[in-house]
Amino acid sequence: MARKRQWFLAMDMRKLVGGNCARIRKERGLTQEQLSELCGLSQQYLSDLERGKRNPTIVTLYEIAQALEVSHVDLVLPE
């Protein structure tokens, strides 16, 4: 049971990070393509991330946060 719960928590974190990334990106008036150029990740990766399909490393979160001019913590905190 604990293993199943951990899996659900991981899924929720991916969706949380993806949702925060999309929200902040849109607040900044950026497209996925523009953010892609700023952070060095592909537009496809960002699309997958925003849909909760990717599990980014802390380094990736940092690069995205730097491009969005926010703290990396802003990407993992509930709104």
Cβ atoms 17, 56 nearer than 8 A: yes
CATH class as words, domain 2-75: mainly alpha
pLDDT tens, position by position, 17-51: 999 999 999 999 999 999 999 999 999 999 999 99
Which pTM value belongs to this model? 0.85
Residue 8 has pLDDT above 80, yes or no: no
10-16 LR contacts (CB < 8 Å, sep 24+): 10/55, 11/52, 13/76, 14/52, 14/53, 14/54, 14/55, 15/52, 16/76, 16/78
Q: Where are the domains of the chain?
A: 2-75
Residue 5 has pLDDT above 60, yes or no: no
